[in-house]
Chains A and B, each alone.
Chain A
Amino acid sequence: MLGIYLSALVLLPIAALTAKATSGGPGVLWREITNPEALAAIKLTLVVAVVVVALNAVFGTLIAWVLVRDEFPGKRLVNALIDLPFALPTIVAGLVLLSLYGHGSPVGVNVAFTRASVALALLFVTLPFVVRSVQPVLHELELSMEEAAASLGAGPFTVVRRIVLPSLTPAIVSGVALSFARAVGEFGSLVLITGNLPFKTEAGSVYVFAQIQNENLPAAAAVSFALLVAALVVLGALTFVSRWSSKHVR
């Protein structure tokens, strides 16, 4: 059952993509990936994705902790808002970010059409991942451990480092992995706010879109494939880190 579902939705389409990408032989694949514009777009995507993911890991964990362990008026409302970046169509996200942090911004910040705008859009659309994967674990995590540690004289920093963080690591890694994957693939919210200037603000997915529209399917498939492999490497590394940490810290 699971296998059929996964094959129909993931394996077959990815196989189709791989077939398209490699149909011209490895030479064509390599040439498409090393095309300077493609390379610039891939590089921008990966660098921004790493920055975004790092910010997500820190702030996502923080937000989850505050939402589970802290008490303040309006907490339920804040908690309910967390998923909205997914539900809002990406074009709406792009538009409101543009009007808030673009030309004529009410807070005086103008990042529109810069590389920072790529990061901003990606931060918005990946916000829920780490928060929502850390929250359930924090719910499950027994307070008694933390209390015991505190009662034995451990300072709050030690409690967090020795007790809380190790338990949360798999969840953080899980959220980070999803954020990274989404950041690499995101398209809709970037289109409006970044200006899509080749070599400057053109992200990988936007480049891929342009190649599809231009009937250059091998290039589109090749760059998607490259991004996919990059994501694969990062996801693999994260899975490894997660398993290693849960084995060794305990």
Chain B
Amino acid sequence: MDRRLLAAVLTLCATGLGLGACGSSGSGSSTSLTLVAYSTPQGVFEKLIPAFQATPAGKGVSFKRSYGPSGEQSRAVTNGLHADVVNFSLAPDVERLVKAGLVPASWNHNATHGFVSDSVVVIIVRKGNPKHITSWSDLVKPGVQLLTPNPFTSGGARWNVMAAYGAARREGRTDAQAQAYLRQLFQHVVSQDSSARNALQTFLAGRGDALLDYENEAISDRKRGAAIDYVIPPDTILIQSPLAVVGKGAAASTAKKFVDYLLSPAAQTIWASNGYRPVISGVPAAHFPNPPGLFTIDSLGGWKAVTKQFFEPETGIVTKIEQSLGVSTAK
């Protein structure tokens, strides 16, 4: 009995392993690229990839695609998920690959500093803006319910936090006052979903008065006919999404061609028509209002310093704010 069972089990195991091995062996070919990206640009890549395949450089190149939360995708690549091109929501997710020796440290030494698309943090409100929210200070008025994803699980949420903090600083507040504003802001947060998309779904399901989100999400959402409006606050942060080639060899040179294409005027026009701000000038479709107080993450010290100061477990400013909220609600 045991022998028969053993044989059956072994056969099944072998089938499983065999399939797995077959699955992974195909990824080395130079005409096949694996794109590992965060979730938000999935819709754009579905247009960009066929457009690239129609160019001479992209002829005969096939694609494997993987989309998911930025941090999770980045960690998967360090844990052995094969990738030729990566696109994440935050530069630190590429830096993780640099640390793991998968991406050269010079990845951002190009004309666009390693970025492929820009956006800004906006405030999404209900149709007609019934609560008259036009600025950051309106978000902390009594009775306003705010949605933002959890800054510890969502890259988008980190952009939101830094937009709020940076705007407070630009309005002339000191570091301590800006932190106090953040604390006030978090007291109005009624739901911290795990990702920007989940937060948007929650908002569309009827929860809350305002949602902090990417501008491109607000634009594509309105195109889909959702009953929302959005406000670009006068002071807000420029969201910059990094793109990098992983690995070396034949696949890397094809990957480089794809990256070059993504930064070309033709591709940047596709990005722009999907709500992303182009990273090169002279893109015809781009008509994005420029908020007067637009600032970058570098003006706040860059992601490396900001991550340590705001999001470090135990000691980070946002970590402490979340903890203090718990103490106050527990009373």
Contacts and interface: CB of A to CB of B under 8 A. Distances in A.
Interface of A: 1, 35-37, 40, 98-99, 102-104, 112-113, 191-192, 195-200, 206, 209-211, 213-216, 219
Interface of B: 2, 5-6, 9, 69, 71-72, 150, 152-154, 189-194, 198, 201-202, 205-207, 311, 313-314, 322-323, 325-327, 329-330
Nearest to A219: B313
A37 B323 contact: yes
A195 B205 contact: no
Contacts of A216: 313
B69 A113 contact: no
Given A113-B207, A210-B150, 9 more contacts: A103-B207, A104-B206, A192-B201, A196-B194, A198-B326, A206-B194, A209-B153, A210-B153, A213-B153
Contacts of A112: 207
Given A37-B322, A198-B325, A213-B153, A1 B6 contact: yes
A19 B313 CA distance: 20
10 contacts: A99-B205, A102-B205, A102-B206, A113-B207, A192-B193, A195-B202, A197-B192, A211-B313, A213-B71, A214-B152
A36 B314 CA distance: 11
Contacts of B153: 209-210, 213-214
A94 to B, nearest CB: 10
A36 B191 contact: no
B158 to A, nearest CB: 10
A187 to B, nearest CB: 9
Contacts of B69: 213
B156 to A, nearest CB: 12
A101 B274 CA distance: 34
Contacts of A36: 323, 326-327
A22 B191 CA distance: 32
A112 B69 CA distance: 24
Nearest to A193: B202
A160 B239 CA distance: 66
Secondary structure of the A side of the interface?
loop
A216 B2 CA distance: 45
Contacts of B152: 210-211, 213-214
A117 to B, nearest CB: 11
Contacts of B192: 195-198
Contacts of B194: 191, 196, 206, 209-210
Across the A-B interface, the 6 shortest Cβ-Cβ residue pairs: A199-B326, A195-B191, A103-B206, A216-B313, A210-B152, A214-B152
Contacts of A99: 205
Nearest to B206: A103
Contacts of B330: 40, 199
B290 to A, nearest CB: 33
A184 B256 CA distance: 46
A191 B194 CA distance: 7
A163 to B, nearest CB: 37
Nearest to A206: B194
B72 A213 contact: yes
Contacts of A209: 153, 194
A221 to B, nearest CB: 13
Contacts of B326: 36-37, 40, 198-199
Given A99-B205, A192-B201, A214 B313 contact: yes
Contacts of B325: 198-199
A210 B190 CA distance: 17
A98 B36 CA distance: 31
A197 B205 contact: no
Nearest to B96: A215
Nearest to B70: A213
Nearest to A192: B198
A195 B207 CA distance: 10
A213 B73 CA distance: 10
A157 to B, nearest CB: 44
Contacts of A192: 193, 198, 201-202
